[in-house]
A and B are shown apart, each in its own frame.
Chain A
């Protein structure tokens, strides 16, 4: 083990890690972006003209917030892709659970033969 090259790169990686984490400025800018998106969400909610497209817009905006937090505040953009894969794989399953249950309860019953 004493000649394990992985360990050497590990030490390097951890240092590397800290340096490539975004700084104060990025964090504040991201915070501002998140605030703006939330404000837009609430605004869209109150504009009657937006009613027909409310659902897709809100879903897109909250997905954007979700992704920004995960990428920048949780550092997945900068960290090893392994972290992303152990999180995103179950996340995809979770989204699939929501979508498939909604389809099974709300959509497919409409096609039941009368």
Chain B
């Protein structure tokens, strides 16, 4: 199978920096995403305290609950790197376990978010209620959409691993999915502090 050494260079690594093109392109994309979330966070901060009708953030944000969901997302990042370590070593059992754990923790985070949104809705906060509702739901909603995409991506990788198609040679695929996952995590780190803790 492995003729890499005998083949002309361009068959495999035709890059001028020696870096993988997909990984580089993905980092550029993540760079672009920082400005997307940056603008959303900026809008939340600009409109902080500008709502003219209740409920206001201090009346409604549930810090203990969100601390737990933050912890869940952090642990999913840990599970993600363990899955990557498993793939890189060609350890199928470890890969399967930790990929599934990552997706499960991600889903749990989404569950917390769904619970939080429902609770807010019952307390009278909707997209239309006030500026807090608009900025909060759109910002955390876009983050949740990113988590959802990540969970689907991870489950697709998990299915591939189950079929034995995710060996060490495809470690980069998992690494890139991991980059996305950790990115979603660091966005949440920023959101948790700026939106929840700094009322």
Task: Name A residues whose Cβ lies closer than 8 Å to a Cβ of B.
Answer: 1-4, 6-11, 13-14, 18, 21, 23-24, 27-28, 30-31, 34-35, 38, 41-42, 45, 54-55, 58-59, 61-62, 65-66, 69-70, 72-75, 80, 82-83, 86-91, 93-95, 97-98, 101-102, 105-106
* Chain A interface, DSSP helix/strand/loop, else mixed: helix
Cβ contact within 8 Å between A7 and B88: no
B63 in contact with A45 (CB, 8 Å): yes
Nearest CB in chain B: distance from A105 CB, A: 4
Please determine whether A94 and B12 come into contact, CB atoms closer than 8 angstroms: no
Alpha-carbon gap, A99 to B163, bound state (A): 48
Question: Bound state CA distance, A24 and B78, in angstroms?
Answer: 10
**Chain A residues, CB < 8 A from B52:** none
Chain A residue at smallest Cβ distance from B25: A86
Q: Nearest chain-A residue to B33 (Cβ)?
A: A90
9 contacts between A and B (CB under 8 A): A1-B9, A7-B14, A9-B18, A10-B13, A35-B71, A35-B75, A54-B197, A62-B189, A82-B24
- Contact A73/B14 with A38-B70, A83-B23 known, Cβ cut-off 8 Å: no
Nearest CB of A to B11, in Å: 9
CA distance A9 to B71 in the complex (A): 40
Query: Beyond A11-B5, A90-B32, A97-B39: 14 further Cβ-contacts under 8 Å?
Result: A6-B9, A6-B18, A18-B171, A34-B74, A34-B78, A41-B193, A62-B189, A66-B189, A69-B182, A69-B185, A86-B27, A87-B30, A89-B31, A94-B38
B127 within 8 A of A: no
What does DSSP make chain B's interface, helix, strand, loop or mixed?
helix
A90-B31, A97-B35 given; A27·B182 CB < 8 A: no
| Chain B residues, Cβ within 8 Å of A30 | 78
Q: Do residues B9 and A7 form an inter-chain contact, with CB atoms below 8 A? A: yes
Among B17, B39, B88, contact of A6 (Cβ-Cβ < 8 Å): B17
Which residues of the partner chain B approach A18 to less than 8 Å between Cβ atoms? 88, 171
Q: Is there contact, CB below 8 Å, between B34 and A91?
A: yes
In whole Å, how far is A98's beta carbon from the nearest beta carbon of chain B?
4
Q: Which positions 18-57 of chain B face chain A at CB distance < 8 Å?
A: 18-20, 23-24, 27-28, 30-32, 34-35, 37-39, 41-43, 45-46
Instruction: State whether A38 touches B74 (Cβ < 8 A).
Output: yes
Q: Does B152 contact A (CB under 8 A)?
A: no
Tell which of B4, B14, B39, B82 touches A24, judged by Cβ atoms closer than 8 Å: B82
Q: Which of A86, A89, A97 contacts B42 (CB 8 A)?
A: A97
